[in-house]
Amino acid sequence: MVRAAFEICGHSIAAGTRKTIDIPLGALSNHTPMSLPVHVIHGRRDGPTLFVSAAIHGDEVQGVEVIRRLIQGTALRSLMGTVMLIPIVNGYGFISHTRYLPDRRDLNRSFPGAPGGSLAGRLAHIFMTEIVHRSDVGLDLHTGALHRTNLPQIRADIEEEGCLELAHAFGAPVILHSNLRDGSLRGAAQEAGVNVLLYEAGEALRFDEFAIRAGVKGVLGVMKHLGMLSAKSGKARKTKSVISRSSHWLRAAEGGIFRATRTIGDSVEKDQVIGAIADPFGEADTEITARSAGIIIGRTNVPVVNQGDALFHVAKVFNPEKAGDRVEALEQELDEDPLFDDDGLV
């Protein structure tokens, strides 16, 4: 029996085919039309429907490359079920290299939106209607903010049924329990009965090959877990994720020139010195010490800081040293994985 076609926004995608469609979003002030591009791969055989989205914040471009590699690669040729790949959700911010929309709203605080709301609210409503409500599971790809970099990590409500298993299937070094925020895609999707994982890795407006490869491998791992890909396809992931239930930022006690002696992926012990802030003349030096044992999952890349600036993001874990070892193991695993060629292509 032939599987039924996948219907979305007036388009029909036959089983065993793929198609890129443009969901209309209206026009810019200069009459230029805007759309939400979606690449749909509709497998020949039944299975779940998954969406993978990126650039909800327009300057978080790394997920765009993750999705491009998935579309151009061979890994999804024997797909069971349906995957919707949305590389650029916030096209407005993507074009202008900014996080927000022209109305200065954060799209990830505008869900579920409304058809007659703000620009952000209208886009959120369309995404919920056309993408989320057609899905069983979602993966939302993010990066750190401008001038901040993040260790590959999954943020999820691990108390929600099925979320922890999905997070482990992704295989990032760290799984950080993250409560749902009002207006977020994760919150609105969960309210609609769709579990969404948030992948954080790298820095805004920058590519990081380790983070990209970990993202590609993670998406495929989730698809295998859902039964959308054969369990035998690709090389099995050996590294296991470390779970953290809380995290905190270490902030600058003084303004000055910041020097870091540790970076993302490094384990830290309580009271360990991991950096310092000096005045431009070197006459005063303030040490930065870890408040608790953990692993650094984010840090600033800017050496010039003001009092109160965020410097290190530390996730509390039971065994920090083991967590650091898992980061190194994942780097080696991805370097050796035949899924990627010398250019990182799948």
Mean pLDDT per block of 10 residues along the chain (346 residues) reads 94 98 95 97 97 98 98 95 98 97 96 97 98 98 97 96 96 95 97 98 97 97 97 67 96 97 96 96 93 96 97 93 86 90 61
Q: Looking at this protein, which amino acid is placed at residue 344? A: G
- What pLDDT does 322 receive? 81
- What pLDDT does 238 receive? 64
Q: If DSSP states are collapsed to H, E and C, what string results for the chain?
A: CCCCCEEECCEEECCCEEEEEEEEEEECCCCCEEEEEEEEEECCEEEEEEEEEECCCCCCCHHHHHHHHHHHCCCCCCCEEEEEEECCCCHHHHHHCCCCCCCCCCHHHCCCCCCCCCHHHHHHHHHHHHCHHHCCEEEEEECCCCCEEEEEEEEECCCCCCHHHHHHHHCCCEEEECCCCCCCHHHHHHHCCCEEEEEEEECCCCCCHHHHHHHHHHHHHHHHHCCCCCCCCCCCCCCCCEEECCEEEEECCCCEEEEECCCCCCEECCCCEEEEEECCCCCCEEEEECCCCEEEEEEECCCEECCCCEEEEEECCCCHHHHHHHHHHHHHHHHHCCCCCCCCCC
What would the two tokens of residue 196 be? 């969404």
Give the integer Cα–Cα distance in Å for 346 and 265.
25
| Domains and their CATH numbers in the chain | 6-242 (3.40.630.10), 247-315 (2.40.50.100)
pTM: 0.96
- What pLDDT does 271 receive? 97
Give the integer Cα–Cα distance in Å for 249 and 325.
22
What pLDDT digit, counting tens, does each position of 73-116 carry?
Answer: 999 999 999 999 999 999 999 999 999 999 999 999 999 999 99
What pLDDT digit, counting tens, does each position of 272-310 carry?
Answer: 999 999 999 988 899 999 999 999 999 999 999 999 999
- What pLDDT does 20 receive? 98
